[in-house]
Amino acid sequence: MLGKKRKLGKKLQDLKVGERYNAAFTIEDRDLLIYLGLTDDANPLYVQHDYASQTPFKQPIVPAVMLFGMVSSIVSMHLPGPGSHILSHSIEYPKPVYHYADVRFQLEITEIDKRSEAITLHVNGYDKDGEEVVKGSLVVRPPSEPHSMNATSLENFY
């Protein structure tokens, strides 16, 4: 990452209400194991088929926080993009997502607040059958233009 110049996402003034971004993810065993390993989450509902088969879900499900991580990565990488920060979110998970699922997300800008320098994004996620698995909203601060370091870092040499 160091030494490689990265482009920042869209600034507040470059965004428009109604702007959308779509993304799709396939949830693989590798992704689940990495998530569970990083979080030290040992919930049997996520990995133990014997236990999960005795629940209303009938099989292991994907952790809701992992689904939110996918939404967060869309914000960080695409809309508004690198340099963005999620200030708050309200997300519901109306239907479980199971292992090996394909999930499609759509994020749409519904509000731009220039005073607070934040936008509101509406998010929907759907499984392969088109059923809603994620819905909600996020308040996000888009990236800010960094100040030039040349003027201050070299001022002793002028």
> What's the number of domains the chain is made of?
1
The CATH number covering residue 79 comes to 3.10.129.10
Residue range(s) defining the domain that contains residue 111:
12-27+61-144
What pLDDT is recorded for position 152? 52
Give per-residue pLDDT as tens, 36-79: 889 999 899 999 999 999 999 999 999 999 999 999 999 999 99
CB 69 within 8 A of CB 91: no
Q: Could you write out the DSSP letters of every residue in 62-128?
A: --HHHHHHHHHHHHHHTSS-TT-EEEEEEEE--S--BTT-EEEEEEEEEEEETTTTEEEEEEEEE-T
Residue 136 domain-assigned (yes or no):
yes
Indicate the pTM of the whole model: 0.86
131 found inside a domain: yes
120 domain residue, yes or no: yes
Rounded Cα gap, residues 24 and 82, in angstroms = 19
- What b-and-e string marks burial along 48-79, b requiring 16 or more CB atoms within 10 Å of the CB? eeeebeeeeeeebbbbeebbbebbbebbbebb
Domain membership flag for residue 98 = yes
Phi, psi (degrees; rounded to nearest 5) at 154: -110, 10
In a domain, 17, yes or no: yes
Whether 100 is covered by a domain: the verdict is yes
Does residue 153 lie within any of the structural domains? no
Residue 73: inside a domain: yes
Report pLDDT digits (tens) over 71-129: 999 999 999 999 999 999 999 999 999 999 999 999 999 999 999 999 999 999 999 99
Confidence of residue 145 (pLDDT cuts 50, 70, 90): confident
Per DSSP, the three-state class of 141 is strand
Residue 78 has phi, psi (to 5 degrees) of -135, -50
